[in-house]
């Protein structure tokens, strides 16, 4: 069979009641290169199931095996299928005539073999009457494809994917007769991308004889979701819902209100309550040029109400050696001759292992509650970037009120200081931070803001000796003008230009240092 060939597998055991209708719906597929493969999983109904299938003659293929369960039947179908693409149809469900044709068309256009399509469906009763529809939020699933699995939105009979993909990840797990499909989707989420097709392509029958209603199925289902809660890493959870805490809360809601797993929902809620406290935290410290200032900066980290898991000290080997080695915090050293702030920050972030990473540039210091406040906010809200107000030479600079969806406004008004920032490592892994070693630090805040919301803490949580944002404004303007992504924002760049001109020293009235006057940023949070 050719590249557009599809195998429709129909596993069945004692399914004479609805099997004929299912096979007929498969035969009515408009897509020409379709093979129908019925796998009789040890039916013991005096041959009635086999008789129903046999009546279709050579229009279908029939395989018979001793009873082994749905997973074994599906693996049998996978092994014997001749189609390049694979889909499966429960014996009591129906395909719409356009199902295969429409999905093959989508796969042909994207031309990828690591895609698994799934679709909407109609519900039918025991008599085949349509009783409702399940239409999913297509835009949401396009933006966050992993939700397809974690929100339990995939019906196996709606899928179409490459047979080789299913074989490569090991087929269906025969140890789980009732959740073999969910476990397959979980593995597929890591190896492929689920793509939603917004059409009702399957009629799914709800009737009392279904196996999914039995208590052993429910027990196995509960065990599966416990495995998901325990086996989803911090980073995976962040990719789905912004933080592990939010992932656990949202999964708990799903389990409580859209599945019969109440006890697992309670477990998810308990795990969510301790997620923030269990999250790992690193602090990347640019130790600067003065040993004593660096000591004070490090001392402010060690005085935190919530001590970080590690400090990553970046700077010259001479300063690092002078600082010594005996710190209460786990310490990682990254000696470097690099002097550019963005490059040093990138070196530190590469070495950091924490889920949340605070930035500190000596001689700046942290307030004692800094790390706790940032982690609590980011964990609860799922924000990947946070910053705070700060104090400088006795004055409070309320930059922390600048938050929400601040792009492109941030292009013209970026007062964020590096020593007030905490990020989730997912942000660094996505390639948004400090990728250009010559760029000003503010370039990274802008890159982050262009994709994500920023969380601002209005309390001053850092002490900034020498604010850098104002002194970087000229460099930032040049960088923005040179950037194809940002140079088109004329209004914001003009505002930055005006601010830069206004802060230039005026020789006739007596000079004042650029950046020494701190504007009070009373901007309210931008609307999300």
3-state secondary structure of 442: helix
| Token pair 């679709």: residue | 119
Contact between 481 and another protein by CB under 8 A: the answer reads no
Closer residue to another protein in complex, CB, 144/295: 144
Residue 77 DSSP one-character state: H
Which part of the chain contacts another protein (CB under 8 A), choosing from 12-20, 61-69, 262-270, 329-337?
329-337
Contact between 190 and another protein by CB under 8 A: the answer reads yes
DSSP string, 411-435: HH-----GGG-EEEHHHHHTT-SS-
Contact between 291 and another protein by CB under 8 A: the answer reads no
**Separation CA 375–CA 243 (nearest Å):** 10
**Separation CA 1–CA 294 (nearest Å):** 69
Residue choice 91, 146, 424, 452 for contact with another protein (CB under 8 A): 146
Contact between 319 and another protein by CB under 8 A: the answer reads no
Closest contact distance (angstroms) between CB of 323 and another protein is: 9
Closer residue to another protein in complex, CB, 203/334: 334
Which part of the chain contacts another protein (CB under 8 A), choosing from 47-55, 168-176, 349-357, 516-524?
349-357
Which part of the chain contacts another protein (CB under 8 A), choosing from 3-11, 26-34, 85-93, 193-201?
193-201
Closer residue to another protein in complex, CB, 41/286: 286
Of residues 47 through 106, those in contact with another protein by CB under 8 A are 105-106
| Token pair 């529809």: residue | 133
Contact between 321 and another protein by CB under 8 A: the answer reads yes
Residue choice 13, 196, 203, 246 for contact with another protein (CB under 8 A): 196
Contact between 236 and another protein by CB under 8 A: the answer reads yes
**Separation CA 275–CA 310 (nearest Å):** 18
Residue 527 DSSP one-character state: P
CB atoms within 10 A of CB 231: 9
Contacts of 171-174 with CB under 8 Å at 24 or more apart are: 171/71, 171/74, 171/75, 171/78, 172/70, 172/71, 172/72, 172/74, 172/75, 172/78, 173/71, 174/68, 174/69, 174/71, 174/72, 174/75
Closer residue to another protein in complex, CB, 331/401: 331
Residue choice 264, 320, 378, 439 for contact with another protein (CB under 8 A): 320
Using CB under 8 A, list all residues that contact another protein: 105-106, 109-110, 112, 115, 138-139, 141-146, 190, 192-198, 235-236, 239, 313, 317, 320-321, 325, 327, 330-333, 335, 350-351, 353, 425-426, 429-430
């Amino acid at each position: 069979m050719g590249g557009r060939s599809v195998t429709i597998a129909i596993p069945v055991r004692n399914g004479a009641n609805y099997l004929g209708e299912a096979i007929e719906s498969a035969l009515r597929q408009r897509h020409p290169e379709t093979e129908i493969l019925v796998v009789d999983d040890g039916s013991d109904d005096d041959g009635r199931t086999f008789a129903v299938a046999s009546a279709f003659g050579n229009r279908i293929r029939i395989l018979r095996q001793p009873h082994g369960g749905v997973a074994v039947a599906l693996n049998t179908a996978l092994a014997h299928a001749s189609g390049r693409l694979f889909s499966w149809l429960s014996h009591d469900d129906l395909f719409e005539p356009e199902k295969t044709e429409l999905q093959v068309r989508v796969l042909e256009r994207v031309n990828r073999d690591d895609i698994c399509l799934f679709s909407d469906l109609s519900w039918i009763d025991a008599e085949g009457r349509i009783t409702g529809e399940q239409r999913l939020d297509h835009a949401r699933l396009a933006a966050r494809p992993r939700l397809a699995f974690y929100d339990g939105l995939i019906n196996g009979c709606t899928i179409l994917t490459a047979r080789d993909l299913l074989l490569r990840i090991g087929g269906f797990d025969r140890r789980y007769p009732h959740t073999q499909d969910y476990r397959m989707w979980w593995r597929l989420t890591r190896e492929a991308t689920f793509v939603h097709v917004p059409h009702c392509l399957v009629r799914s029958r709800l009737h009392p004889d279904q196996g999914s209603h039995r208590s052993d199925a429910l027990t196995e289902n509960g065990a599966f979701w416990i495995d998901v809660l325990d086996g989803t890493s911090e980073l995976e959870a962040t990719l789905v819902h912004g933080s592990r805490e939010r992932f656990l809360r949202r999964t708990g809601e799903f389990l409580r209100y859209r599945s019969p797993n109440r006890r697992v929902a309670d477990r998810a809620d308990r795990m969510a309550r301790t997620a923030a406290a269990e999250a790992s935290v690193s602090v990347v410290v640019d130790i600067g040029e003065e040993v004593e200032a660096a000591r004070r900066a490090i001392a402010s980290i060690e005085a935190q109400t919530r001590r970080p898991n590690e400090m990553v000290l970046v700077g010259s080997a001479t300063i690092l050696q002078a600082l010594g080695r005996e710190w209460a915090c786990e310490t990682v050293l990254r000696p470097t001759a690099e002097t550019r702030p963005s490059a040093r920050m990138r070196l530190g972030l590469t070495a950091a292992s924490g889920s949340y990473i605070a930035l500190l540039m000596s001689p700046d210091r942290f307030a004692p509650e800094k790390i706790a406040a940032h982690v609590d906010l980011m964990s609860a809200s799922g924000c990947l970037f946070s910053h705070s107000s700060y104090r400088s030479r006795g004055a409070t600079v309320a930059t922390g009120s600048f938050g929400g969806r601040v792009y492109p406004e941030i292009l013209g008004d970026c007062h964020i200081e590096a020593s007030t920032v905490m990020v989730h490592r997912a942000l660094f892994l996505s390639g948004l931070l400090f990728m250009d070693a010559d760029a000003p630090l503010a370039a990274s805040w802008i890159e982050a803001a262009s994709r994500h919301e920023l969380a601002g803490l209005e309390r001053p949580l850092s002490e900034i000796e020498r604010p850098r944002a104002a002194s970087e404004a000229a460099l930032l303007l040049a960088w923005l003008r040179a950037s194809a992504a940002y140079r088109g924002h004329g209004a914001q760049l003009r505002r930055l230009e005006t601010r830069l001109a206004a802060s230039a020293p005026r020789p006739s009235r007596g000079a004042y240092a650029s950046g020494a006057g701190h504007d009070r940023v009373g901007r309210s949070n931008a609307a999300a």
